[in-house]
Amino acid sequence: MEARKRLFGVKACCRFLCQREESVKVEKGKEGILLESGTNEIEIMKFTIQGEFYGINVAKVKEIMMAEKVKAMPHAHPAVEGIFKPRDILITVIDLGFYLTDECLEHKPRDLFIVTNFNKMTVAFRVQSIEGISRISWNDIQKPDKTLSHGEEGVATGIAQCAGELVTILDFEKIVAEIAPETTIQLSEVDQMGDRPICNSPLVIAEDSILLQKMIDEALERAGFTNVKNFNNGQEAWDYLDSIKGDSDLYDKVNLIITDIEMPKMDGHRLTKLVKDDSRLKYLPVVIFSSLIDDQMRIKGAALGADEQLTKPEIGNLVHVIDKLLERFEKNIEGKE
């Protein structure tokens, strides 16, 4: 029994689950879990709670383990089950079933912890089963309409069909931010910069989260940036850039691009590749601003030509990076038009 409680790598766990249940299907192709850069593909790990299918981007998953005993913490959020220490690090456990249903679901011996890593945090989520991994295109992920997503309040970032099942892809950053607001963008970082000059340089932002889009906009407005154009995914941003790239006044319409990675229709890596492969757009600085940034993601982003890559809570750092890249862009663009 103790051996069953050891930590499993993502695909090792799926192989274990496939041996246990013939119904679990895992797509196996390349060695390792990371996809080739800029292909606009995503690998979704499917899991269940109360018989419903949910999904998480495999890039967020550090490992899977059998559920262990958890130490409850006083005055914690109701969805926080507690903490445990599988190695030398304390990990917070969120009871995802309770968070989604507002019901205390029975904890069963076959429950699993999905241990995630994003925004420089390690958090475990209790789920009832893992059903495998599916590789799909971001273009096949549809944004929930307002009747399902409840505007800013929804935690479904997209709906995808994986192996014949409709899977709700959850916004894990929003779940954690709701439980622990101090882990998300802090506008106070911008306020601490004091008075800044007004900057009318046109910025293009691709971000699918309505809540984060508003927070980024407010932060940039407080920092003095007055000319910001928002798009809900990489495809919409690319359609706009593609429509103006031949204009003589292109660089009066866009000076810098900020993009998330995870977005329906087209992800940020694909958008970065398209921009940097274009003869005129390639001069535009691209900042990848994502919860997924780690050493491996930095390698992928750099290979695609991203000028900077930052994790999402670093809003103060983002402002400084924008200042630096706009100054460099203005110097580089002289004589190129």
Per-residue pLDDT, 156: 87
* pLDDT score recorded for residue 53: 95
The answer to which of 10-14, 213-217, 319-323, 325-329 has the lowest mean pLDDT is 10-14
Residues 6+ apart with CB under 8 A from 160: 44, 55, 134, 136, 140, 141, 142, 166, 167, 169
**Quick one: pLDDT at residue 9?**
52
Which of 63-67, 79-83, 118-122, 152-156 has the lowest average pLDDT? Answer: 152-156
pLDDT band at 149 (very low <50, low <70, confident <90, very high): very low
CB atoms within 10 A of CB 127: 22
pLDDT of 162 > 90? The answer is no
Judge whether residue 16 has pLDDT over 60: no
Does pLDDT of 308 surpass 90?
yes
Q: How confident is the model at residue 98 (pLDDT cuts 50, 70, 90)?
A: very high
Given pLDDT bands bounded at 50, 70 and 90, which one contains residue 184?
A: confident
Bridge partner list, 83: 71, 92
Average pLDDT over residues 257-270: 94
- pLDDT at 22 > cutoff 60: no
Average of per-residue pLDDT across 27-55: 73
For residues 267 and 234, give the distance between their C-alpha atoms in angstroms, rounded to a whole number: 6
Of 160-169, 218-227, 297-306, 314-323, the one with minimum mean pLDDT is: 160-169
Structure token pair of residue 313: 């809570």
Asked whether 273 and 37 are in contact (CB, 8 A), the reply is yes
Domains and CATH numbers, the chain: 3-181 (2.40.50.180), 185-333 (3.40.50.2300)
Question: What pTM was estimated for this model as a whole?
Answer: 0.82
Residue 4 has pLDDT above 80, yes or no: no
At 113 the pLDDT is: 97
**CA atoms of 325 and 328, how far apart (whole Å):** 5
Q: Would you say residue 317 has pLDDT above 90?
A: yes
89 or 22, which is more confident? 89
**pLDDT confidence band for 14 (50 / 70 / 90):** low
Instruction: Give the residue with greater pLDDT, 219 vs 312.
Output: 219
What are the tokens at 243?
Answer: 């429509």
Q: Which of 57, 274, 265, 248 is nearest to 257 (CA)?
A: 274
User: How many CB atoms neighbour CB 258 within 10 A?
Assistant: 26
**Do residues 105 and 115 touch, judged by C-beta distance below 8 A?**
no
Q: Is the pLDDT of residue 20 over 50?
A: no
Mean pLDDT across the chain, nearest whole number? 86
Above 90 in pLDDT, residue 83?
A: yes
Give the lowest-confidence range in 79-93, 114-128, 181-195, 207-221.
181-195
The token pair that represents 324 in the structure block: 């630096």
Closest CA to 40 of 284, 263, 237, 315: 263
Are residues 42 and 135 in contact, defined by beta-carbon separation less than 8 angstroms? yes
Indicate left, alpha or beta for 305 from its phi (over 0: left) and psi (-120 to 50: alpha). left
Instruction: Say if residue 148's pLDDT is above 80.
Output: no
Query: What pLDDT does 312 receive?
Result: 86
**What average pLDDT does range 5-13 have in this prediction?**
47
How much is the pLDDT for 17?
Answer: 46
Q: What is the pLDDT of residue 31?
A: 36
Under 8 Å between Cβ of 321 and 310: yes
E strands present in the chain: 41-49, 52-57, 61-66, 80-84, 91-95, 112-118, 121-127, 129-137, 156-162, 165-170, 203-206, 228-231, 256-259, 286-289, 308-310
pLDDT at 153: 56
Among 273, 277, 251, 245, which Cα is nearest to 261's?
A: 273
